[in-house]
Amino acid sequence: MNIVTKFTVATEQGIEALSMITKTLALEKFASLVEPAELEHYIADNFNSRTLVNEINSMSNQWLVVYADDQPMGYARITSKGQKPDALAGTRAIRIADFGVCQHAARQQMETSLMDKCLAVCNPYDVIWVNEPIKSSSIGFFEQNGFIKQPGVGRFEGLALESAIYLKATS
C-alpha cells in the first residue's frame, strides 16, 4: 500500500477530497458523542464547499491530506487561528485544529504519516497545541507522540463537548 501525505490547495480535486473526508471523519469521530442534529449542523457549517475553499485559502491555515493508494483517508488542519491557552502567552505556538484518519487496516501507518508531516510543518514554532474532546479516541495517539495534557477542562470549538488542551514542545 502506497501511503503519502500532501498539502491541499483549493482545486476542484482538493475540495472534493476534503469535503468527502472531513464529513466522513466528523461522523466517525463525533456520532457517539453528540446528538445527530447537532452533528449535522456542525458538518453543514464547517465542511461545506464554500467554507472549505475559504479555509484552504486562508493564510492562517495549512491543510494536509493522507492518501492510501491515491484515496483520501485522513486530514489535518494546522492553524494559527483560535484562542491560545494562557500558558502559551509569549510563545510562538501553532495549533493542530483537526486531525483524523478513517477506520482502515493501515490506519496506524496513515496516522503516523500525517503526524510526521504535521510535526515537520510545525517545527519552526516553540509549541504545538491541540484542543481535543475528552472522550476522543485520538487522545492516546497524541500522547504517544509527546503531547502532554494540561490541567483543566475546556469546550471543543463548534460542538457541545468538554475538551482538554494538549501541548508538545518542538525540538
pLDDT category of residue 168 using cuts at 50, 70 and 90: very high
Give 101-137 pLDDT, tens digit per residue: 998 777 899 999 999 999 999 999 999 999 999 999 8
What's the rounded mean pLDDT across residues 17-23?
A: 92
Its domain, for residue 160, covers 3-169
Count of the separate structural domains present in the chain: 1
Residues 91-105: b if buried by 16+ CB within 10 A, e if exposed: eebbbbbbbbbbeee
Looking at residue 116, what is its pLDDT?
97
What's the rounded mean pLDDT across residues 140-150?
A: 97
> Looking at the predicted structure, is the pLDDT value of residue 2 above 80?
yes
Here the CATH number for the domain that contains residue 70 is 3.40.630.30
What's the rounded mean pLDDT across residues 154-171?
A: 90
> Looking at the predicted structure, is the pLDDT value of residue 6 above 80?
yes
Give 51-85 pLDDT, tens digit per residue: 999 999 999 999 999 999 999 999 999 999 888 89
Looking at residue 82, what is its pLDDT?
81
SS3 163: strand
What's the rounded mean pLDDT across residues 15-28?
A: 93
Q: DSSP letters of 92-130?
A: -EEEEEEEEE-S-TTHHHHHHHHHHHHHHHHTTSSEEEE
Looking at residue 81, what is its pLDDT?
87
> Looking at the predicted structure, is the pLDDT value of residue 166 above 80?
yes
